[in-house]
Amino acid sequence: MTPHHEDFDMAQYPVNMDLRPKVDAFFDEATNTISYIVQDPTSDACAIVDSVMDIDYAAGRITHDHADRLIDTIRQRGLTLEWIIETHVHADHLSAAPYIQDKLGGKVGIGANIQLVQDTFGKIFNEGTEFQRDGSQFDALFQDGDTYTVGHMQGFAMFTPGHTPACMVHVMGDAAFVGDTLFMPDGGSARADFPGGDAGTLYDSIQKVLSLPDAMRLFMCHDYGPNGRDIQWETTVAEEKANNIHVGGGKTREEFIKFRTERDAQLAMPRLIIPSLQVNMRAGEIPTDQDGNPQLKVPVNKL
């Protein structure tokens, strides 16, 4: 089933290193997620990559402090929000895409394989037929190599499965938003043991990311400050190739699969996986009960 060393042609991607978008990072301490505002250098247009909605899961309370920071920044700068991009269906935080879209507009986009993710988790959460599994909750479903514009700036999506089957890396000019493929060099790589994940496929996707130009800025979706260092989120392809502890310095696919599989077997489920999947597979909408009240489920012994 899993393609081995899937062939890809870097020339199919419209890389443009001369374009340098302004990138602002917003770190969410509760989930160690980094959200980004990416601004076209020649207009007032911008995109958001991987927003966060706050949840106090114990209390069942949703708030929007993190998303409001992004919204306030965009308003203060007089920017136009054109895209709200999800690199994948996150399992560790809730997306604020609908909340942000309601305030600022913009289209919500994710990888076309969201349909596989919806199918898998639609079953696990025993969703009824009213839960569509065709990705129609999103405004755009990206295929590998699809391009889009943010003002005059062209962005494109690179299909990078492995962590999940729907993961996409988004590249705008000399900035790539790697989602959960790579972490900072001393953090390594994302886990590959969720349903539809695969360590070998993740290795192949990471090689694809590392085939981008050496000077490409890479922006992480997560950082956990390994060994007590301060939180960081930006590196380069050259840095990752040389120093990434899981894939750098020429580590082989076989070495990676062995290491990743052993490591993943020891990892606990993310604290917020149950609410995150239910919300994020709906493009950030909170599911409702039969009376229309927002409500989350906890399926027992299903994950």
Q: How far is the CB of 270 from Fe ion (least distance, A)?
A: 8
Contact 159, 144 (CB under 8 A): yes
For 211: left if phi > 0, alpha if psi spans -120 to 50, otherwise beta; the answer is alpha
Query: Nearer to Fe ion by C-beta: 39 or 87?
Result: 87
**Residue 94 DSSP symbol:** B
Query: Nearer to Fe ion by C-beta: 166 or 247?
Result: 166
181 residue type, one letter: T
Query: Nearer to Fe ion by C-beta: 127 or 180?
Result: 180
Q: How far is the CB of 129 from Fe ion (least distance, A)?
A: 28
Please state, in angstroms and rounded to a whole number, the distance separating the CA atoms of residues 188 and 8.
Answer: 23
Q: Please report which residue ranges of 3-130 form alpha helices under DSSP H.
A: 65-76, 97-104, 114-124
Residues of the shown chain interacting with Fe ion in the complex, contacts defined by CB under 5 A: 90, 180
Query: Nearer to Fe ion by C-beta: 91 or 104?
Result: 91
Query: Nearer to Fe ion by C-beta: 44 or 224?
Result: 224
Q: How far is the CB of 163 from Fe ion (least distance, A)?
A: 6
Name which of 47, 38, 99 is nearest 68 in CA terms: 99
- The residue at minimum Cβ distance from Fe ion is 180
Helix, strand or coil, per DSSP, at residue 165: coil
Q: How far is the CB of 276 from Fe ion (least distance, A)?
A: 9
Q: How far is the CB of 194 from Fe ion (least distance, A)?
A: 8
Quick one: 192 exposed, middle or buried, by C-beta within 10 A (0-12, 13-18, 19+)?
Answer: buried
CB count in 10 Å sphere of residue 4: 8
With a CB cutoff of 8 Å and minimum separation 6, the contacts of 143 are 112, 157, 159
Query: Nearer to Fe ion by C-beta: 21 or 275?
Result: 275
Query: Nearer to Fe ion by C-beta: 11 or 265?
Result: 265
Q: How far is the CB of 197 from Fe ion (least distance, A)?
A: 10
Q: How far is the CB of 107 from Fe ion (least distance, A)?
A: 21
Secondary structure percentages of the chain, helix, strand, coil, to 5 = 25, 25, 50
Please state, in angstroms and rounded to a whole number, the distance separating the CA atoms of residues 42 and 50.
Answer: 23
